[in-house]
Structure 1
Amino acid sequence: MSALLPFYALSVVILFLKMLGISCYQGYHRISRLTFQNAEDARFVGRQASPEELPQVTRAARAWANDLENIPLFFVLGGLCVVLDTATSTSLALFCVFTAARIAHTLCYLLQWQPWRTLAYAIALACLLGMAGMVVSRALAVL
């Protein structure tokens, strides 16, 4: 077993929990205000459907969409790092920094903190590029 696998697995679970947290954040705001756009959800709590989504829910949905553009790339590139047994210390650092940067990105997105959100995004992107470079380097070395 690759020494990277446990760290990769922990990163995946932490990122899953982070994304679950965004869903809970949306649910909290909808339920606490009993405001739902879907008619069946509104009827369930005895309300009319809201013509507009709550701003907090909309913002969280944009953070979620950004995750869907970035986190699957980590799953693939990180998994390839594990399979190709890339440099352990560098890979571990990239896994940890990527995970922390994506958490920071979400918090900055929800709290409307700029330029910190962009910085967190850029750090996570740099980690993905680093992983991609390691995957290419290792793949070429074993050819």
Structure 2
Amino acid sequence: MSEYQFYALTTVILFFKMIAISVVQGVGRVNTKTFVTAEDARFFAQAPPALEEAPIVKRAAMAWRNDLENIPMFLFLGLIYVTVGCWPEGAYIYFTIFVIARILHTIAYLNGMQPWRTIFFTVGMFVCVTLSIQILGAVL
């Protein structure tokens, strides 16, 4: 598998990871019958809208926002990394570490597991910094 193909695989895995967070939110709302949107409350719970989301839905939303702050940055860096021809084996190593770190970060976030959430976040950021440094080395 080429680095580009591995990058594509990484992208798809991260996509499905984010879809899983959406599923957690939906299941959380259905299981608690807690819907803040009026039409959802009427349709799914036949009840008035809730004043706030259920705790699991709040946690999943925070994990989703964190992904939106980190995954696009990684995807841009990863694409540049393979395009400019940085260390080929590094793509397999760094991309794998990032994906595992983001999956574990989500699990830790959903379950309120500190310091693990911060550790997995830091590992993912370390990968992005490493990619950045290697990209700079390749283009300068």
Same-fold call, TM cutoff 0.5: yes
Partner of 2:64: 64
What residue ranges of structure 1 are gaps of 5+ in the alignment? none
Q: Is the 8 A contact 1:101 1:120 kept in 2?
A: yes
Alignment of 1:4-19 (within 5 A): 4-19=3-18
Cα distance in 1 for partners of 2:91, 2:32 equals 44
Q: Is the 8 A contact 1:98 1:123 kept in 2?
A: yes
CA apart distance, 1:71: 0.2
Cα distance in 2 for partners of 1:51, 1:117 equals 28
CA apart distance, 1:131: 0.6
Partner of 1:118: 118
Cα distance in 2 for partners of 1:43, 1:113 equals 34
Cα distance in 1 for partners of 2:62, 2:31 equals 20
TM-score normalised by L of structure 1: 0.93
CA apart distance, 1:6: 1.0
What residue ranges of structure 2 are gaps of 5+ in the alignment? none
Q: Is the 8 A contact 2:36 2:49 kept in 1?
A: yes
Alignment of 1:1-143 (within 5 A): 3-45=2-44, 46-140=46-140
* Ranges of 4+ aligned residues in structure 1 off by more than 3 Å: none
Cα distance in 1 for partners of 2:80, 2:5 equals 14
Q: Is the 8 A contact 1:81 1:135 kept in 2?
A: yes
Cα distance in 2 for partners of 1:34, 1:119 equals 33
- Deviations 1:9-65 (CA, angstroms, capped at 9, x unpaired): 111111100000000000001112221000011111311100111011001111111
Q: Among the aligned pairs, what percent are the same residue? A: 42
Q: Is the 8 A contact 1:86 1:134 kept in 2?
A: yes
Cα distance in 1 for partners of 2:134, 2:29 equals 43
